[in-house]
Amino acid sequence: MLKTPKGYKFTALEGGFKYSGRDDLALILSDVPAVAAAVFTKNKFQAAPVTVGKEILAESHLVRGAMINAGLANACTGAEGIEDCKESLILAAKYLSISERDLLPASTGVIGPRFNMDRWREVAPKFKKALTENDPVKAAKAIMTTDKFPKLAWGEIECNGQSVRMLGMCKGAGMISPDMATMLGFVTCDAEVDPIWWQDALRRCINKSFNCITVDGDTSTNDTVMAFANGASGVKADDDATKKSLEDLLLDICQQLSYMIVQDAEGGTKVMHIKVTGAASDKDAELMIRAVGNSPLVKTALFGEDPNWGRIVAAAGRSGADFDPEKLTLSFGKIVVFENGKPVEGDMDALLEPLMRKQDVEVNITLGDGEGSSLLQASDLTREYININADYRS
Q: Is 325 in the site for a copy of itself (CB under 8 A)?
A: yes
**365-390 as b/e: b if 16+ CB within 10 A:** bbbeebebbbebbbbbbbeebeebbe
The only residue of 23, 147, 179, 190 in contact with a copy of itself, by rule CB under 8 A: 179
Q: Is 69 in the site for a copy of itself (CB under 8 A)?
A: no
Q: Is 57 in the site for a copy of itself (CB under 8 A)?
A: no
The DSSP annotation for 57-87 comes to HHH-SEEEEEEEEEEE---S-HHHHHHHHHH
Taking residue 176's Cβ as centre, other Cβ atoms within 10 Å add up to 24
Query: What x/- string results for residues 185 through 224 when contact with a copy of itself is judged by CB under 8 A?
Result: -------------------------------xxxxxx---
Give the Cα separation of 12 and 243 in Å (integer): 32
Q: Is 308 in the site for a copy of itself (CB under 8 A)?
A: yes
Report in angstroms how near the CB of residue 49 gets to a copy of itself at its nearest.
15
How many alpha carbons lie under 13 Å from residue 363 in its C-beta half-sphere? Answer: 34
Q: Is 379 in the site for a copy of itself (CB under 8 A)?
A: no
Q: Is 354 in the site for a copy of itself (CB under 8 A)?
A: no
Task: Give the list of residues 6+ apart from residue 300 with CB closer than 8 angstroms, or none.
Answer: 380, 381, 382
Task: Give the list of residues 6+ apart from residue 107 with CB closer than 8 angstroms, or none.
Answer: 47, 48, 49, 68, 69, 70, 72, 73, 74, 75, 85, 222
Give the Cα separation of 318 and 316 in Å (integer): 6
Instruction: Say if residues 11 and 4 touch (Cβ distance below 8 Å).
Output: no
Q: Is 72 in the site for a copy of itself (CB under 8 A)?
A: no
Give the Cα separation of 156 and 67 in Å (integer): 25
Q: Could you tell me which stretch among 6-14, 53-61, 96-104, 171-179 binds a copy of itself (CB under 8 A)?
A: 171-179
Report in angstroms how near the CB of residue 94 gets to a copy of itself at its nearest.
28
* Antiparallel, parallel or unpaired: β 224-229 and 271-279: unpaired
* Angle at the Cα of 181 from the Cα atoms of 302 and 30, rounded to 5 degrees: 115
The only residue of 22, 200, 296, 346 in contact with a copy of itself, by rule CB under 8 A: 296
Give the Cα separation of 79 and 108 in Å (integer): 18
Q: Is 83 in the site for a copy of itself (CB under 8 A)?
A: no
The only residue of 12, 96, 225, 301 in contact with a copy of itself, by rule CB under 8 A: 301
The only residue of 21, 58, 78, 359 in contact with a copy of itself, by rule CB under 8 A: 78
The only residue of 98, 175, 250, 365 in contact with a copy of itself, by rule CB under 8 A: 175
Q: What part of residues 110-169 is at the interface with a copy of itself (CB under 8 A)?
A: 110-112
Catalytically annotated residue among 41, 77, 146, 182: 182
Q: Is 284 in the site for a copy of itself (CB under 8 A)?
A: no
Q: Is 333 in the site for a copy of itself (CB under 8 A)?
A: no
Q: Binders of a copy of itself: how many residues, by CB under 8 A?
A: 64
Task: Give the list of residues 6+ apart from residue 202 with CB closer than 8 angstroms, or none.
Answer: 37, 38, 39, 187, 225, 227, 250
Q: Could you tell me which stretch among 106-114, 160-168, 185-193, 229-237 binds a copy of itself (CB under 8 A)?
A: 106-114
Give the Cα separation of 206 and 228 in Å (integer): 15
The only residue of 150, 323, 361, 365 in contact with a copy of itself, by rule CB under 8 A: 323
How many alpha carbons lie under 13 Å from residue 236 in its C-beta half-sphere? Answer: 3
Q: Which is nearer to a copy of itself, 295 or 331 (CB)?
A: 295
182 carries an active-site annotation: yes
Q: Is 242 in the site for a copy of itself (CB under 8 A)?
A: no
Q: Is 108 in the site for a copy of itself (CB under 8 A)?
A: no
Instruction: Say if residues 133 and 224 touch (Cβ distance below 8 Å).
Output: no
Q: Is 314 in the site for a copy of itself (CB under 8 A)?
A: yes
Q: Which is nearer to a copy of itself, 125 or 325 (CB)?
A: 325
Q: Could you tell me which stretch among 57-65, 76-84, 160-168, 234-242 binds a copy of itself (CB under 8 A)?
A: 76-84
How far does CA 26 lie from the centroid of its chain? 17
Binding site for a copy of itself (CB under 8 A): 42-46, 75-78, 80-81, 110-112, 175, 177-179, 181, 216-221, 294-297, 300-301, 303-304, 306, 308-311, 313-318, 321, 323, 325, 338, 340-343, 349, 381-383, 385-387, 389-393
The residues assigned a catalytic role are: 182
